[in-house]
Amino acid sequence: MSSFFIFKFMSELKKGSKKLLNAWAFYDWANSVYTLTIASSIFPIFYSALFLSEIKKVTAFNYEFKSTALITFVTAFTFMVVAILSPILSGIADYVGNKKSFMKFFCYLGSAGCIGLYWFSLEHIHLSLLFYFMGLIGYWGSLVFYNSYLPDIAFEEQQDKISAKGFSMGYIGSVLLLVANLAMVMSQDNGVDKIQMMRYSFITVGIWWVLFSQYSFYILPKGVSKSHKVTKSVIFNGFKELLGVWQELKLNLRLKRYLYAFFVFSMAVQTIMLVAVYFGEEEINWGTDEAKTTGLIVSILVIQVVAILGAFLTSSASSKFGNIKTLIVINMIWMCLCFYGYFIETPTQFYITASLVGLVMGGIQSLARSTYSKFLPETKDTTSYFSFYDVAEKIGIVIGMLIYGFIDQITGSMRNSILFLFVFFLVGIILLFRVPRLETKN
């Protein structure tokens, strides 16, 4: 009897319903703790603390790397794997109509990777990097299917707002856990104990991610129900679907040009977000190690808090001025930040930069996703379109991270890498100006 009522309850959740929209947005609350604690704050500080000498070198894969370059290259490799796997998995998910199962798989894989980071050490660098790889691929792999739900659960006029709400919930939830983790780390007086608390924080991320995702998994629909079974030929359906999407893009000038622009500016945005703390740890003069740890985490908190405001301001601006015009202005701000970032040296300058980054970070992520969703043609095959979106994003990140890592490895300074990203934002702005205001057929 209870199963009947559950089924009846689920069947009543129509597209655009408040409960369905909130359940979708709540997954941001669950998974964003990964991006804040692992990708953006405590793990970069922890990773840097493992290197005791001023010359931070590590041997891995039979080659000596600069420590920041190694983690950059591993990150790039992970995104390459995600870019390859995404069309395969999305093709299977679309064929059998069960995108939620794939979303769950990557969620649990990522959570396990976060917990595994507790044992991260330079003595077992390859196993350690495997755990880092699992967390990263789990987070981004789940987003392929999470993002594809947006046009399924929200009408076009709801998408900007609910996308912004998702990011904002993610920022709030991740800040709450980071504050708790920060209290754990700062409660210790010596470096060894602080590092141990950082290890515990990785476990809290994995547990938080698994537990809070259950609400979204319970409410979100399974997908378009189909009775198909997976065969060998289905494995390559995703690539066929991407090719089909590309062919359709040739008939949709607005969407095609927007994707060109998104590919370029997202490349720079995601790279900066992934390396920001490594930059702050290495290039800023904090004075003492304790001041560095506190300063970097406070900077990340500032970014997250300001990003909440940024996401809603961007949503309001897009309603008034349009999505493309708003994205152009945001890219201009990013371009200025890259130029300014080359010269910053003091903690105060870093805090100022962090505040501005937070203001535009939440806005550009939220608006980029909802703009793409708005520009989509009428179709039920949203997974394939968002797979194309995600593959474009991941390939962009691979290119951005590789360029950043090579410049860092060769020149020995991350400042040169940051300055080079200025070019990507400039090109992104030019491409955004070429996006037609109204849908245009080629």
Here the tokens at position 217 are: 């998994």
Q: What is the pLDDT of residue 118?
A: 95
Whether pLDDT at 279 is above 80? yes
Q: What is the pLDDT of residue 383?
A: 63
Residue 270 vs residues 140, 275, 342: alpha-carbon distances, Å: 12, 9, 18
Using one digit for the tens of pLDDT, what is the confidence trace for 102-123? 889 999 999 999 999 999 988 8
Q: pTM for this one?
A: 0.74
**Inter-residue contact 238 to 86 (CB < 8 Å):** yes
Q: Is the dihedral of CA 420, 425, 426, 431 positive or negative?
A: positive
Greater confidence (366 vs 196) lies with: 196
Higher-confidence position of 415 and 237 = 415
Examine the pLDDT at 433 and tell me if it is beyond 90.
yes
At residue 331, does pLDDT exceed 70? yes
Q: What is the Cα–Cα distance from 341 to 336, expressed in whole angstroms?
A: 8
How far from the centroid of its chain's Cα atoms is residue 32's Cα? 8
Could you give the angle at the alpha carbon of 223 between the alpha carbons of 220 and 224, nearest 5°?
145
pLDDT, residue 278, reads 80
The pLDDT of residue 328 is: 93
Other CB atoms within a 10 A radius of the CB of residue 215 amount to 15
- The average pLDDT across 267-290 equals 82
431: pLDDT strictly greater than 70: yes
User: What is the predicted pLDDT for the residue at 4?
Assistant: 43
Rounded mean pLDDT of the chain?
81
Q: Which value, to the nearest 10 degrees, does the dihedral of the CA atoms of residues 327, 331, 337, 339 take?
A: -170
Q: Provide the pLDDT for residue 239.
A: 74
pLDDT at 5 exceeding the cut of 50: no
What is the number of residues in the chain? 442
- Residues 301-317: pLDDT tens digits? 788 778 778 878 888 88
Range 431-438 average pLDDT:
86
**Residue 89's pLDDT band (cuts 50, 70, 90):** confident
Question: What does the pLDDT average to over 8-29?
Answer: 75
Residue 269 pLDDT more than 60? yes
Q: Please, which pLDDT band fits residue 438 given cuts at 50, 70 and 90?
A: low
The domains of the chain, with CATH numbers, are: 25-222+234-433 (1.20.1250.20)
User: In terms of Cα–Cα distance, which of 163, 401, 172 is closest to 278?
Assistant: 401
Please check the confidence at residue 7 and state whether its pLDDT lies above 50: no
Higher pLDDT, 11 or 392: 392
- What confidence score (pLDDT) does residue 229 get? 58
